[in-house]
Amino acid sequence: MRLFITVSASILIFASAAYCFDVTGLQPTQPNGVFSTFSTSTNPAGVFAAQFELQHSVDPTSYQVNASFSCAIADSVEFSATMPYHLKTGNSGFEDVAMGIKDRLIEEGEYSPSIAALVSGSAPSGRDVISTNGRVGGGLIMSKKVGPFKTSVNALIYAPFRRTQGTEVDFMLGAELPAANNLSILTEIETKKSNDINKFDYWDWKIGYRFRPLDFLYTTLSAGYGFKTRFPDFHVFLSFTLITPPADKILKYIYEEEKD
């Protein structure tokens, strides 16, 4: 499994360009990510997570609902999927459903980061005006605790099946600062070479928080400001993530295993 993912990710990273517009793609479920930035963390084997996110873009005005799901196949391997739906006059509809596998290959050391490989793909399942007609991609994820911060870096590339569209390249840097027992401050910077232009024309910065009011629930709220060429975009995100079994049962299982 790990050899397959590593080889596939390496091939995709160095694949030649195909020739599109911005799409949501695969999104991490909390708490194993910082907004759109994946961390190398995974839930224990057998844990399932469902996340529902509402995005509101102020200028231009539009809404988007993202439903994401993840299932830990093993303690270091996680399958996930994201289904975005756009709510915009004249352009409402489903985007391609993205699916992928994240595999943590190297654990974090005292001075070295943990490293994971991500392989992702989508079938041409969305409405034509907001679809890439399917695409494949992936890349590498690195996470490291630096002082009180847990930081993650993503380097991802996606090649659409539609030959008239170009390759998308994403670089993301996310950081998490625990502020209380159940509260973390999150921030993220993303730059992207979109499918329809041959330069890094999109820059986005987000800041917000993640709160765990219950053992099985995470609530994340953030605001972001992005630039694509000369068109700024202010957006707000609100998401709810449900995990099962709840965190208290996960800790109980781990404690019982250690006790045995």
- Is the pLDDT reported for residue 15 higher than 50? no
Question: For residue 136, what is the enclosing H or E element?
Answer: strand 135-146
- Is the pLDDT reported for residue 33 higher than 70? yes
- Is the pLDDT reported for residue 184 higher than 50? yes
pLDDT at 125: 72
Burial of 3 (0-12, 13-18, 19+ CB in 10 A): exposed
CA dist., res. 45 & res. 70, Å (int): 11
More confident residue, 233 or 151: 151
- Is the pLDDT reported for residue 185 higher than 90? yes
Q: Average model confidence (pLDDT) for the chain?
A: 83
State the sign of the Cα–Cα–Cα–Cα dihedral 82, 162, 168, 107. positive
Q: How many domains does the chain have?
A: 1
State how far the alpha carbon of 161 is from the alpha carbons of 18, 112, 131, 195, 252, in Å.
7, 36, 11, 12, 46
- The answer to whether 64 and 82 have CB atoms below 8 angstroms apart is no
- What would the pLDDT profile of 65-117 be if each residue is shown by its tens digit? 999 999 999 999 999 999 998 887 667 788 889 999 999 999 999 899 999 99
pLDDT band at 9 (very low <50, low <70, confident <90, very high): very low
pLDDT at 257: 58
pLDDT at 206: 95
More confident residue, 11 or 144: 144
**Which distant-in-sequence residues (6+ apart) come within 8 Å of 89 by Cβ?**
none
pLDDT at 253: 53
246 upstream amide cis, omega within 30 of 0: no
- What would the pLDDT profile of 118-151 be if each residue is shown by its tens digit? 999 988 876 666 666 788 999 999 999 999 999 9
Considering only 61-70, 161-170, 180-189, which range has the smallest mean pLDDT?
A: 161-170
pLDDT at 170: 94
Task: Please state whether the predicted TM-score (pTM) of the whole model is above 0.85.
Answer: no
pLDDT band at 11 (very low <50, low <70, confident <90, very high): very low
CA 29 to chain centre: 7
Range of the domain at 110: 2-259
- Is the pLDDT reported for residue 35 higher than 80? yes
CATH no. for residue 178?
2.40.160.40
pLDDT band at 8 (very low <50, low <70, confident <90, very high): very low
